[in-house]
Amino acid sequence: MTEIDESNRDRPSEPTRRNILTVSAGSAALGAAVAGLTGVLPVQQAAAQAPSSSKLQEVLKRGHLICGTGSTNPPWHFEDASGALVGMDIDMARLLAKGLFTDPSKVQFMEQEADARIPSIITGKVDVVFQFMTVTAGRAQQVGFTIPYYREGVTLFMLADSKYNTIADLRAAGSSLRVAGLQNVYIEDWIHMAVPHAKVDQFDSEANCLVALNDHRVDAYMHDQSSVRWFMNKFPGRYKTSGYDWMPNMYSAAVPQNDQVWLNYVNIVLHDAMTGVEFPSYQASFKRWFGVELPEPTVGFPMEYTPRTT
């Protein structure tokens, strides 16, 4: 279990809209007067009147968040050269801590294997799980899921000097194309969804799939889209993708069931990160781990309700 990081390195050094809009101590009396006129309660008073049985109140009283996550799966959760936990999941947990305590370091990470994600929530060992957890109907019978913070999928990637460039090139190669995949009973079916006639070479680890690609023993490697983005960002100029993604699935945080207050709160933090005041933090995380610069949210009509035109 990682110790709570009390450093301030994640705090913004420049004024933000949140800083500007924060009511100063000198205006507390005015805030109280306005609250009396409008019926809006100060934060502390509102929190005191919220349901005491909610995980939200438990976390606030404790003074830090407990998050279940992993430590071996870049770019989601892994240890950097200094041994610190980093990754997209870690960033999401710190955003939640920032929302709770205005301090992203107020989070204690409980490192766990993937098969412990649901048990750790059910038994109350953690408050939330950020661990590249795919939403399924079966899992939703055991835990509550937040709104998704990433849409995963699979893609084919090749060495930069490959003679193949597009999915059309790969399909045209027919049975002469060799594709690596992680050993799985369904792996051939999954790969054939994209390249129906390719030969599939199965390997017992992702590392061996990558070695086969680097050694030119296969032409392409089917892997999670997020991992491919991370590889391309980490090793610029070494790899390229077909530009074709398939088998979409959602990554969400998991929380205890039957606690709508806590679920609503975590949803608000994630929604704000992807579309509102905290967007720069989410944008920076996306850029760091995937090498993709997300466009700024539109102002006016909420973009999440805008129909797609293409």
3-class SS of residue 297: coil
The answer on pLDDT for 23 being more than 90 is no
How far apart (Å, rounded) are the C-alpha atoms in residues 97 and 310?
Answer: 37
Say yes or no to pLDDT of 83 above 90.
Answer: yes
Look over the chain and give the mean of its residue pLDDT values, rounded to a whole number.
86
pLDDT digits (tens, 9 = 90+) for 156-198: 999 999 999 999 999 999 999 999 999 999 999 999 999 999 9
Predicted local confidence at residue 247, as pLDDT: 96
| 152-249 CATH, one of 3.40.50.620, 3.40.50.740, 3.40.1440.10, 3.40.190.10 | 3.40.190.10
Enumerate residues 6+ apart whose C-beta is below 8 A from 54: 259, 261, 262
Q: Which residues pair with 86 in a beta bridge?
A: 78
Q: Give the separation between CA 274 and CA 304, rounded to whole angstroms.
A: 10
Amino acid of residue 230: W
Residue pLDDT, tens place only, 133-162 = 999 999 999 999 999 999 999 999 999 999
Where do the DSSP E strands lie in 123-238?
Answer: 128-129, 144-159, 178-182, 199-203, 220-224
As given in the structure block, the two tokens for residue 101 are 């305590």
pTM of the model: 0.79
Q: What is the pLDDT of residue 308?
A: 64
Tokens, residue 46: 């509102």
Contact present, 113 and 68 (Cβ < 8 Å): no
| DSSP string over 26-89 | GGHHHHHHHHHHH-PPPHHHHHHHS-TTSHHHHHHHHTSEEEEE-SEETTTEEE-TTS-EESHH
- pLDDT(5) > 60: no
30-44, 62-76, 244-258 — which is least confidently predicted?
30-44
20 vs 113, residue with greater confidence: 113
* pLDDT confidence of residue 52: 61
% of residues, the chain, pLDDT over 70: 82
The edge-to-edge listing of strands for the beta sheet with 128-129 is: 107-111, 65-69, 128-129, 239-255, 144-159, 220-224, 178-182, 199-203
* All structural domains of the chain with their residue ranges: 43-143+256-305, 152-249
Structure tokens at 203: 């390997």
Q: Helix (H, G, I), strand (E, B), or coil: what is residue 111?
A: strand
Please report the pLDDT score of residue 53 as a whole number. 85
Q: 43-143+256-305 is classed in which CATH architecture?
A: 3-Layer(aba) Sandwich (3.40)
Query: What is the per-residue pLDDT across 212-235, written as a single tens digit (0 to 9) for each?
Result: 999 999 999 999 999 999 999 999
Q: What is the pLDDT of residue 309?
A: 58
